[in-house]
């Protein structure tokens, strides 16, 4: 499972690293330390917090969130696999994006809940880039 540093988690959540540290200290999100002593957040825990924040809002004033070339970097929060098709949900700050793609594409990208990914929107299509 992918883990994220406090700084990476903060960027994905759209908050400052200080806020992410305070949330970790308060137990809002669990952390563990790597061999270098850095605090890391498990991808699944980060995905759950990302969904929670999108529903309730963050404790910071929500910063403006813009799409550069329609790219929404975020975290995979859900994957539903069918026999042929798949549905992937990404939480990118306050934006929830859903992409319908083939099961084969999800497997080739190695997508998992808690993984960082970028949703690219063109017209009504949402494409997923693995980071």
In angstroms, rounded to a whole number, what is the distance separating the alpha carbons of residues 21 and 24?
A: 5
Residues 6+ apart with CB under 8 A from 42: 1, 3, 30, 32, 114
Q: What is the 3-state secondary structure (H, E, C) of 23-63?
A: HHHCCCCCCEECCCCCEEEEHHHHHHHHHHHHHHCCCCCCC
pTM: 0.62
Q: What is the pLDDT of residue 66?
A: 46
Structural domains of the chain, ranges and CATH numbers in brackets: 3-56 (1.10.1660.10), 71-130 (2.40.50.100)
Q: pLDDT under 70 in the chain at which residues?
A: 57-69
């Amino acid at each position: 499972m992918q883990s994220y540093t406090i700084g990476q988690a903060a960027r994905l959540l759209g908050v400052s690293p200080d806020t992410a540290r305070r949330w970790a200290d308060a137990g809002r999100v669990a952390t563990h330390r790597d061999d270098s002593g850095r605090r890391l957040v498990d991808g699944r825990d980060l995905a759950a917090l990302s969904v929670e924040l999108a529903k309730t809002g963050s404790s910071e004033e929500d910063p403006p969130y813009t799409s550069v070339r329609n790219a929404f970097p975020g975290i995979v929060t859900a994957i539903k696999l069918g026999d042929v098709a798949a549905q992937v949900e990404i939480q990118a700050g306050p934006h929830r994006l859903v992409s319908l793609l083939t099961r084969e594409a999800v497997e080739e990208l190695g997508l998992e809940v808690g993984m960082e990914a970028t949703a690219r929107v063109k017209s009504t299509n949402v494409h997923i880039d693995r980071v």
